[in-house]
Amino acid sequence: MHWRHWLQSIKNKFTPLDEDALALAQYQVFTRQIPLLYFLLLINTWTLAYVFRDAAPHWLGVELLLGISAFSVFRAIGWWNMRDEIPNVAVARRRVRTTVILAWILAPAMAIWSLMLFDYGDMYLKIHVVFMMTAGIMTMTYCLSSSWQAVLALVATVNMIFFGFFIHRDEYQFSAMAIHFLVVTSVMVGMMMYYYRDFVRLIDARSLAERAQNEALLQANRDGLTQLPNRRNFFHTLEGICAESKKNGQRFAVAVLDLDGFKPVNDLYGHAVGDALLVQVGQRIAACVQARAHVARLGGDEFALIMDGLDAQDDAAFVALGQTVCQRLREPFELDGFTLQVGSSMGLVTFPDRAVQAQQLYQCADYALYEGKRGSRGTVSVFSYQHSLRIQRDALIEQALRTADLAQELQVWFQPIVDAPSGRTLGFEALARWDSARLGMVSPGEFIVLAERGSLMNQISQMLLAKALQEMQHWPEHLELSFNLSVQDLASAATMQQLLALIANSGIAPQRLSIEITETAAAHAAAQVQHSIELLRECGCGVVLDDLGTGFSSLTRLLGLPLTKIKIDRQFVRGIDAKVANRKIVASLLNMAREMQLQCVIEGVETPAERLTLLDIGGTFMQGYLWSRPMPAREVARWLADESVRL
Ligand code: C2E
Ligand code: CA
Ligand code: CA
């Protein structure tokens, strides 16, 4: 048992961690040392042939020598030419193995050739032969030292022939030389083994360093949680695929996906559960797409796909795969102990139709996702030509916004809010209008989001409120004003201070003012937003929850805010006279408002039939084109003056 252990430990010393790395390293050393080996071989043989020129027969001293020389030159040049080539492992292994085999053939051949000369010479020449063989074996052992098999082949065969040749001869001096030769070469092999062991250690150290480097590279490209490729890797892969596809014309798609309802999972069950869910989501996507797409996690609950394994001619195949993924993600997840259900939405763009660069493709897919989520969640939205027009238009508007003289160009228009049964005007909603010097009239639906993105909103809100309050000075005392604020205004303590100061300095009773806050803004978690709403209430203003029913926020949470009014979004009003479902929704919202003692304004009323239906289910305060579109400030006076005529 003991000796086996010992043998094993010796074997381990000479076995590298990575056999491939060893073969490559041996190959590299050989490309330098084998040409040297053949060079030395040539010197040895030619010198020997020279001293035997008169003694040896022509075929042995010249013809055979030329044959050996030609072969040596051929092999030496072959190796020399390969010195800068980096072969693959299989090739390197094969060349190293050939070298070992050649050592088994060439070494005895050379020994035999030398000894064939031996008997043609006198004593001087004979000693020369032995000298040449000794010098030869030493230098060649050195040249082959990176392969112990080659060294063994060399030393074993030469010794056998040497020994066999001399041991029976009469001259005992030569027998002694043969024994001497055997001892010296054996010691040399022992020394070479030390050298070889160090060589293996060096290769091991190199492989370990390489492995560590590879591991670090892998870590830098992998998402720690899901073990999927990360954002950095995603872009790297995408760039590669773009370059490839530009050459071979292959179509592919990039999709960005995020989970609907992930935040509540995190909030409700904690981050550990959220993380476990993300891991399963990653696995499910990967299992679903298999070789048809590369999957990556970009961060948070955002995943991305590069669908380059479909060989599709049109969008349909990509969309179908995207839909399959969304569908799979809708199925419940089993997390130890309980079941969770989330959904997912996907934005998708195809190469090369809409974009050809990695960053561009990602942005388009992300844009389609964002736009898609505003409309219908849980499905795939494809980046379209309309989207690209929208982006161009947005860029134009953004640029114009930055250079506009907003104080001059911004206007406030007013749309009446009426008591529907009587038709009497109760007040107005202030709506922003931007008469841009460069673009003409731009609707707030277009520029408000961009102003928010460009951090211009606070400034704009202040200008608009100042203008609206200015107009209000001319109105009869009983008329109220509804004014829209953006979530950015509510989130900024400084802006709120300035807006409240504007109201206080206007001399208008704050009770005549209501601030409209969209459902999404009200659902904003920031404490500052909640605080701003309380501040508004404290100073006497009303607070209206606008666009109710368009967001995806929890009603309980919204209604926990100190509101005075709700505003039912116009999507429920359109065609309400014909749509039973809408009628039920609006009726229940009206009921809820009544129960909570909140006023309720119904917006977007366009037809008499809608008005009648709404009256029927208990609606009173309404707003819409049926009465008036938003009007410029100067028309308000006439609108009010005409009221008695209209009623
Ligand atoms: P909103 O607050 O829901 O305003 C009502 C929008 O519905 C207005 O569009 C109005 O013109 C339109 N509208 C009114 N009655 C009807 C109708 O019967 N049928 C239809 N189809 N539409 C009707 P507008 O003026 O284009 O404003 C769009 C949105 O821009 C507003 O929606 C509001 O969210 C935002 N906005 C407008 N002015 C301001 C502002 O001064 N500040 C902020 N933060 N947002 C504003
Ligand atoms: Ca509004
Ligand atoms: Ca609204």
Looking at residue 423, the DSSP 8-state letter turns out to be: T
Closest ligand to Cα 415: 1
If you take atom 21 of ligand 1, which residue's CA is the nearest one?
604
Look at residue 375 and tell me whether its pLDDT is greater than 80.
no
38-41-45 Cα angle (round to 5): 140
pLDDT tier at 634, thresholds 50, 70, 90: very high
Look at residue 70 and tell me whether its pLDDT is greater than 80.
yes
Span from the CA of 593 to the centroid of ligand 2 (angstroms) = 18
pLDDT tier at 12, thresholds 50, 70, 90: confident
pLDDT of 459 reads 96
pLDDT per residue over 75-97, tens digit each? 999 999 988 888 889 999 999 99
If you take atom 45 of ligand 1, which residue's CA is the nearest one?
484
pLDDT of 338 reads 85
- Report the residue among 374, 409, 412, 431 best suited for mutation to probe ligand 1: largest number of ligand atoms under 8 A from its CB: 431
Helices and strands: H and E segment counts in the chain: 26, 17
If you take atom 37 of ligand 1, which residue's CA is the nearest one?
431
If you take atom 3 of ligand 1, which residue's CA is the nearest one?
547
Span from the CA of 431 to the centroid of ligand 1 (angstroms) = 6
- Cα separation, 28 vs 22, in Å, equals 10
Q: What percent of the chain has pLDDT over 70?
A: 99
215-217-218 Cα angle (round to 5): 65
Look at residue 305 and tell me whether its pLDDT is greater than 80.
yes
Element of type H or E holding 557: helix 555-559
**Helix/strand/coil (H/E/C) assignment for every residue in 523-556:** CCCCHHHHHHHHHHHHCCCEEEEEEECCCCCCHH
| Closest atom, ligand 1, to C-alpha of 630 | 11
pLDDT of 337 reads 81
pLDDT of 76 reads 93
Residues 199, 201, 205, 207, CA torsion sign: positive
Look at residue 582 and tell me whether its pLDDT is greater than 70.
yes
- Report the residue among 463, 484, 545 best suited for mutation to probe ligand 1: largest number of ligand atoms under 8 A from its CB: 484
Cα atoms in the 13 Å half-sphere on the side-chain side of 333: 25
- Cα separation, 614 vs 568, in Å, equals 11
Q: What percent of the chain has pLDDT over 90?
A: 79
Looking at residue 229, the DSSP 8-state letter turns out to be: B
Span from the CA of 430 to the centroid of ligand 1 (angstroms) = 9
Smallest Cα–Cα separation from 132: which of 52, 34, 56, 188? 52
Look at residue 637 and tell me whether its pLDDT is greater than 90.
yes
pLDDT of 552 reads 64
Look at residue 526 and tell me whether its pLDDT is greater than 80.
no
| Closest atom, ligand 1, to C-alpha of 486 | 44
Closest ligand to Cα 484: 1
If you take atom 32 of ligand 1, which residue's CA is the nearest one?
445
- Cα separation, 136 vs 11, in Å, equals 29
pLDDT of 82 reads 87
Query: Is 514 strand, coil or helix?
Result: strand
Closest ligand to Cα 430: 1
Residues 156, 162, 167, 172, CA torsion sign: negative
If you take atom 23 of ligand 1, which residue's CA is the nearest one?
604
- Say whether the peptide bond before residue 352 is cis (omega within 30 degrees of 0): yes
pLDDT of 18 reads 85
pLDDT tier at 376, thresholds 50, 70, 90: confident
Q: What is the mean pLDDT of the chain?
A: 92
Look at residue 525 and tell me whether its pLDDT is greater than 70.
no
Top-ranked range on mean pLDDT: pick from 109-113, 115-119, 266-270, 409-413: 409-413
Span from the CA of 604 to the centroid of ligand 1 (angstroms) = 9
- Residues counted in the chain: 647
pLDDT per residue over 404-435, tens digit each? 999 999 999 999 999 999 999 999 999 999 99
Taking residues 614-637, what's their average pLDDT?
97
Pocket around ligand 1 at a 6 A CB cut-off: 415, 430-432, 443-445, 448, 464, 484-486, 516, 546-547, 570, 603-606, 623-625, 630
Smallest Cα–Cα separation from 99: which of 55, 149, 138, 167? 149
Residues 399, 442 contacting (CB under 8 angstroms): no
Span from the CA of 218 to the centroid of ligand 3 (angstroms) = 50
Span from the CA of 590 to the centroid of ligand 1 (angstroms) = 21
Span from the CA of 368 to the centroid of ligand 2 (angstroms) = 26
Q: Region of 340 please: left (phi>0), alpha (psi -120 to 50) or beta.
A: beta
* The token pair that represents 632 in the structure block: 């410029």
Span from the CA of 1 to the centroid of ligand 2 (angstroms) = 89
Span from the CA of 31 to the centroid of ligand 2 (angstroms) = 80
pLDDT per residue over 306-339, tens digit each? 999 988 778 899 999 999 999 999 999 998 888 9
What are the percentages of helix, strand and coil residues in the chain, rounded to 5?
60, 15, 20
- Cα separation, 143 vs 134, in Å, equals 15
- Cα separation, 529 vs 515, in Å, equals 13
Instruction: Find tokens 């010796």 and name the residue.
Output: 10
Listed as own residue / partner, the contacts of 492-499 with beta carbons closer than 8 Å and 24 or more positions apart are: 492/458, 492/528, 493/528, 493/531, 493/532, 494/458, 495/458, 495/461, 495/462, 496/532, 496/535, 498/462, 499/461, 499/462, 499/465
Looking at residue 617, the DSSP 8-state letter turns out to be: T
